[in-house]
């Protein structure tokens, strides 16, 4: 039990240091503020569930998991550009995966739900739930895997 508490304490300290470093590099993003009633009127039932209630899509739901066209991925709630297509990779986890976000567009929140300690990623403009970030991404790039719900993003085609 003592080892578990020490481990949790060390993870907590490490997470705090990561968050404080991330905050120093953020760029200013215009905030989108709506009431929950306004979000319910704007979003579909599934979008509201994932983006506002922190739900999770079923694996491979929505078709963006194996989608690799050139363009950008935007927040489905507020249209903020979040990810470039060149940061997307196939992780075989069942959800769209990116190794990096566009600087300043994603905020990180400690998530202790479901008996786990994870880092939630949310849209910097509207605070909508996007998914979680993990340290099992491509080692040759960032080593990060932004595991994103398909419902929380929409693809905007780029130049061909």
pLDDT, mean of residues 130-158 = 96
According to DSSP, the residues that pair with 88 across neighbouring strands are 98
Q: pTM here?
A: 0.80
Q: Kindly report, residue by residue over 56-84, the tens digit of the pLDDT.
A: 999 888 788 888 999 999 999 999 999 99
pLDDT computed for residue 24 by the predictor: 46
User: For 85-113, what is each residue's pLDDT tens digit?
Assistant: 999 999 999 999 999 999 999 999 999 99
Window from 4-13, 31-40, 131-140 with minimum mean pLDDT: 4-13
Q: Which residues are catalytic?
A: 147
pLDDT band at 51 (very low <50, low <70, confident <90, very high): very high
Q: Which two tokens stand for residue 33?
A: 């503020």
Work out the average pLDDT over 120-143: 97
Cα-based angle 148, 152, 156 (whole degrees, multiple of 5):
95
With beta carbons less than 8 A apart as the criterion, state whether 54 and 120 touch: yes
pLDDT at position 22 is 42
Look at residue 13 and tell me whether its pLDDT is greater than 50.
Answer: no
Mean pLDDT of the chain: 86
Looking at the chain, list the stretches that DSSP marks H as alpha helix, in order from N- to C-terminal side.
2-24, 36-42, 45-47
Give which of 117, 102, 113 is closest to 56, Cα–Cα. 113
């Amino acid at each position: 039990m003592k080892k578990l508490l020490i481990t949790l304490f060390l993870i907590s300290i490490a997470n705090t240091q990561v968050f404080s470093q991330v905050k120093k590099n953020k760029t200013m993003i215009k905030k989108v503020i709506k009431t929950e009633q306004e979000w319910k009127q704007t979003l579909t039932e599934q979008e509201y569930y994932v983006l506002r209630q922190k739900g999770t899509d079923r694996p491979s739901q929505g078709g963006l998991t194996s989608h690799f066209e050139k363009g950008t991925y935007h927040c489905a709630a507020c249209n903020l550009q979040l990810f470039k297509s060149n940061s997307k990779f196939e992780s075989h986890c069942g959800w769209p995966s990116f190794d990096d976000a566009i600087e300043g567009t994603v905020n990180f929140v400690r998530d202790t739900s479901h008996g786990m300690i994870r880092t939630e990623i949310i849209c910097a403009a509207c605070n909508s739930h996007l998914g979680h970030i993990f340290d099992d991404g491509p080692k040759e790039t960032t080593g990060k895997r932004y595991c994103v719900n398909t419902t929380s993003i929409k693809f905007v085609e780029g130049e061909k």
